[in-house]
Amino acid sequence: MGTFLPVLGAVTQTVGALSTIGSAFNTISGGDDRYRRAQQDQAMRDLKARQAQGNAEAQANAEQQRSTIALEAKEADERRRAALKRAVAKRNARFGATGIGGSGGSREAVLLGLFDESEIEKQNRKNLDKIRYGAIDNSLGFNASRNVLEQTELKNRQRLDDIASRY
C-alpha cells in the first residue's frame, strides 16, 4: 500500500497537468470555434439563398403553368362554342331540309342534347384544370417542405460537428 500512494499522487499530478494543457488548448482553439461557427453561419446563409432562388424560380414556373392552363381553357372554350354553333347550324339545316319547323319539340330536344353534351365537356375541362392547378400547388408545397427539411438537416449536422469538435 505504501507504493500505491506515490503512484496515485503521480497520476493525480499527471491528470492535473493534462487538464491544464487541455484548458489552455481550449482557450487557444477558441478561434477555431469562432471560425467553425462563422463557416456554419455562412453555410446556412448559402443554403437559404439557394432556396430563395429556387423558390422564386418555382413560383415563376408555377405562374407560367397557370397562365398556360388558363389560356388553353379559354381556347378550348372558344373551340367548344364554335363547334356547338356549327352543330346547331347543321341540325337546323337538316331539320329545315326534312320539313321540321322551328318550334318542334323533337328539334328542341335534339338541340338541348347538344347543349348538354357541350356543358358536360366544359365541366370535364374545368375538372381537369382543377387537377392541374392542384398539381402545381402540391409541387410548390413539396418545395417548401424540402427547404425546411434541408435547413433542419444542416442545423443537426452542425450541432453534431460542434459536439464532435469538443472531444
- Domain assignment of residue 160, yes or no: yes
Q: What total of structural domains would you count in the chain? A: 1
> Residues 7, 10, 14, 15: what is their CA dihedral angle, to the nearest 10 degrees?
60
Q: Tell me the mean pLDDT in the region 115-144.
A: 91
Provide the b/e sequence for 92-114 (b: ≥16 CB within 10 Å).
eeebeeeebeeeeeebeebbeee
Q: Is residue 2 part of a domain?
A: no
pLDDT in the model for residue 25: 56
Supply the pLDDT for residue 153. Answer: 93
Provide, rounded to the nearest whole percent, the portion of the chain with pLDDT above 90.
44
Q: What residue numbers bound the domain in which 133 lies?
A: 56-167
Q: What is the pLDDT of residue 22?
A: 56
- Using alpha carbons only, give the angle 86, 88, 92 rounded to the nearest 5 degrees: 115
Q: Is the dihedral of CA 162, 164, 165, 166 positive or negative?
A: positive
Map residue 103 onto helix, strand or coil: coil
Give CA–CA dist 60/52, Å, rounded: 12
CA 150, CA 157: separation in Å to the nearest integer?
Answer: 10
Q: Could you read off the pLDDT of 3-48 as tens digits, one per residue? A: 555 655 565 666 555 556 655 555 555 557 788 889 999 999 999 9
Residue 43 falls inside a structural domain = no
Mean of the per-residue pLDDT values of the chain: 81
> 1 falls in which pLDDT band (50, 70, 90)?
very low
Alpha helices in the chain (DSSP H): 4-28, 30-98, 105-165
Give the position of cell 505504501: 2
Q: Are 143 and 55 in contact (CB under 8 A)?
A: yes
